Amino acid sequence: MICSPSRLPQSLYRSKLMTLLTCSSGDRLAKLRIGSPVAWFPLVLLAFVGCQGDDLPELYPTTGRVLVDGEPAYGALVTFHSDQSQPLGTPKPFARADAEGHYELTTYSTADGIPAGVYQVTVIWPENPEARGPSPDRLSGKYADASSTPLEVTIDEGTTQLPDFQLERL
């Protein structure tokens, strides 16, 4: 495929609302016009994405620990579900427990924290913490549903360390 603005008549080449670049494929010419939605979409998308950071809530770096039957729950996935309705696409704060059961909450970027609020906490402890895909929950789903989990926490400005989650297997 040959691409060149010189394939256009000179009057169209100089026009501000016409082709940025034309490409020939045989006898056909494909034109991208500055005034077309296709040309403006990437710019509008960049402007939208660039402005999203302005309305992010304040985050509070928060850590905790997950224990099952008194032992660290290595690889446990801990997710915090807000009791307030959230806009579509709002991420849920989460963490994965290390070998000692410790975790640091992440909302937008690694270990950045969690917004203030009341949360129901779900915990899933995969049989294989290193698995790249699904792995059965060692807790048999006991703490996996936000609507029935017994775990609830309140995060405020002073919260940095949560009490240990002392869980039991079924």
Residue that wins the pLDDT comparison between 22 and 88: 88
Q: What is the pTM of this model?
A: 0.68
Over residues 57-116, the pLDDT tens digits come to 999 999 999 999 999 999 999 999 998 888 888 899 999 999 999 999 999 999 999 999
Among candidate residues 26, 30, 22, 25, the one with its CA nearest the CA of residue 4: 22
Spell out the domain ranges in the chain.
2-54, 59-163
For the segment 26-33, the average pLDDT, to the nearest whole number, is 48
CATH of domain 59-163: 2.60.40.10
Q: Supply the pLDDT for residue 60.
A: 96
Residue 142 has pLDDT above 80, yes or no: yes
